[in-house]
Amino acid sequence: MSNMHYLLNIGVSGIKSIKDEVRLEFYKKTINKDFEPDKYRIKAIYGENGSGKSAIITAIKIFQDIMIKDQYLSESKNQHFLNEIINKTTQHFHFWCEYLIDLDKEKLVHYYSIEIGRGNNGRYEIKHELLKTKSGNYSNNNYKTLYESKDGELVHIKCAKNYRTEVEKKMANLLSTSSFNYLYIVHLNNINLKESNILAHIAINLMFSLSIKIYMAEEDQHELYFLRKKLREIEFNDGNLIPGFNDAIDSINDYSGVNEKLVTKEHFDSYKEKVEQLTRFIQLFKKDLISIDIDSKENGDQYECELNMNYGSYRINKEFESTGIKKLIRLFDCFTTVDKGGIVFIDEMDSNLNDVYLCKLIEYFMYYSTGQLCFTTHNLDPMSVLKENKNSIDFLSSDNKLVSWTSRGNATPENCYKNGMIEHSPFNIDATDFVGMFGE
């Protein structure tokens, strides 16, 4: 296992059409020293329109935003967004996940949970946050709580009493609007908690959120850059907090990818290397592409960058490319992340992509990448590839019931799905049902 983090499962409830919990499992239930994820790296989520596929990706984005953004819940635009996105019946959003951390000499499992609900002032706030850990080398270990907050108050932290008093004082009135993880790493890391290992665990939890890349829309990634830089600057006085942790810190990449329009001068060379990789990638699909040229304008300590597709006789900005090529360009950073051991969630991966290309890309990531890829799709063709792996095909119904594909003799997942043989997902519409629907 070459990547540091491996997502084991997640649970989501209270978002868009998802009222009750939907749980996605990315690995078998038993976690021990024989952990081997190679057959579990890819997952596709299928479902009817409106079943909640995109809601799952959105939930993960909310989790990441809260983890990496200071005072996320204090911003009006985020409050408006949550008011639209959180389930109107429950008015309560819950996200939890379990993931394994591989530090060579030691394997750990973290459980992280966050709940958001309305406060007395009518605004959404953090109602509960929890981080627990256990050994990942043995299947029968119990979790130990590292920290827990409830209704804005710190109810538990694994450290000496005098340190807890100092933490509580500095976090007063902040835990309703910001994650404990962010607050501690950015504002409170000078408090000496090393005797309890909590600093390393909190940093690992934050690094886990940074290892996730989510494809929904292009957006500014400066928060990711800031936190990567902050983690690298923290002085971990005791290198033996968790074996291999300092090496993991050193592996954090400050630079994100080719789809950023503002690139620091410090990372411009890395950006150019990525664009050269992108060129080779797009040339697989467009043989007449000569190069992808960077138009850069200096802006303080940054460059404003635009990418132009050079075909020799003409050049066009990438935004004027075909929708399929634009989609491949935007997905390139996600593909690079998976290839290097990261965790990627892509909403509607199949849209605007040729079926053949889609299946070949999925096949590559199944057999050659070291990361995890989870995507929503309506295209049935990838099922023929995905069925070779385990826990790789999930069906989500309109009433939020999730069924994972398991082998059924000679039956194929695509035929079972099309013919209404997947539990809770009956496609019982016939062509004749449309007669008269569009006029006389």
| Residue 322 backbone dihedrals phi, psi, to 5 degrees | -65, 155
**Token pair listed for 13:** 């409830």
Average pLDDT, the chain: 86
| Domain locations in the chain as residue ranges | 5-211+222-255+341-434, 256-340
pTM of the model: 0.88
CATH fold of the domain at 5-211+222-255+341-434: Rossmann fold (3.40.50)
Cβ neighbours of 96 (radius 10 Å) = 18
In this predicted model, what pLDDT tens digit does every residue of 63-91 receive, in sequence order?
999 998 888 899 998 999 999 999 999 99
Cβ neighbours of 282 (radius 10 Å) = 18
Q: Strands 291-299 and 212-215: what pairing?
A: unpaired
pLDDT < 70: residue spans in the chain: 1-3, 188-197, 217-256, 428, 440
266-275 burial code (b ≥16 CB/10 A, e <16): ebbebbeebb
Per-residue model confidence (pLDDT) at position 220? 45
Per-residue model confidence (pLDDT) at position 219? 47
Per-residue model confidence (pLDDT) at position 288? 95
In this predicted model, what pLDDT tens digit does every residue of 277-329 receive, in sequence order?
999 999 999 999 999 999 999 999 999 999 999 999 999 999 899 999 999 99
Angstrom distance (rounded) from CA 278 to CA 272: 10
**One-letter-per-residue 3-state SS of the chain:** CCCCEEEEEEEEECECCECCCEEEECCCCCCCCCCCCHHHCEEEEEECCCCCHHHHHHHHHHHHHHHHCCCHHHCHHHHHHHHHHECCCCCEEEEEEEEEEECCCCEEEEEEEEEEEECCCCCEEEEEEEEEEEECCCCCCCCEEEEEEECCEEEEECCCHHHHHHHHHHCCCCCCCCCHHHHHHHHCCCCCCHHHCHHHHHHHHHHHHHCEEEECCCCCCHHHHHHHHHHHHCCCCCCCCCCCHHHHHHCCCCCCCCCCCEEEHHHHHHHHHHHHHHHHHHHCCCCCCCEEEEEEEEECCEEEEEEEEECCCCEEEHHHCCHHHHHHHHHHHHHHHHHCCCEEEECCCCCCCCHHHHHHHHHHHHHHCCCEEEEECCCCCCHHHHCCCCCCEEEECCCCCEEECCCECCECHHHHHHCCCCCCCCCCCCHHHHCCCCCC
In this predicted model, what pLDDT tens digit does every residue of 28-63 receive, in sequence order?
877 877 888 888 899 999 998 888 999 999 999 999
Per-residue model confidence (pLDDT) at position 261? 85
